[in-house]
Amino acid sequence: QVQLVQSGAEVKKPGASVKVSCKASGYTFTSYDINWVRQATGQGLEWMGWMNPNSGNTGYAQKFQGRVTMTRNTSISTAYMELSSLRSEDTAVYYCARVPHYYDSSGYFPYGMDVWGQGTTVTVSS
């Protein structure tokens, strides 16, 4: 079945970096974008960015520009999200999600996030 399986929980100190993985199975990894979304405890969903696993192209939310890097290893169908200079406010559950999409002359058109990983809890604490 189609699924995204994320790496386990992380505890980091302020100023450190964290790298979360997202392994895809049951579909062609390079045919769908991967988005990353996070959610602090008791808060709403926050979009972080997207990556096209085929080209490696990425786009990040302004809030995370300069701190986030999204990459992939197509040989093992795995996407990665690395967040640096961690602070306590980055404590959250981080999700990867699959996004069907198409391009035409007008631009880029993503559909909804149709498959989600189980989430990875990242705790930033001294």
Partner 1 sequence: SYVLTQPPSVSVAPGQTARITCGGNNIGSKSVHWYQQKPGQAPVLVVYDDSDRPSGIPERFSGSNSGNTATLTISRVEAGDEADYYCQVWDSSSDQGVFGGGTKLTVL
- Vertex 73: Cα angle to 76 and 6 (nearest 5): 70
Q: Which stretch binds partner 1 (CB under 8 A): 18-26, 39-47, 71-79, 83-91?
A: 39-47
Nearer to partner 1, 103 or 126 (CB): 103
Nearer to partner 1, 32 or 50 (CB): 50
Question: What is the 8-class DSSP label of residue 19?
Answer: E
Query: What CA–CA distance (Å, rounded) separates 83 from 33?
Result: 19
Each residue 97-116 as x (binds partner 1 by CB under 8 A) or -, in order, gives x---------xxxxxxxx-x
Token pair for residue 47? Answer: 């979009």
Does residue 27 belong to the site contacting partner 1 (CB under 8 A)?
no
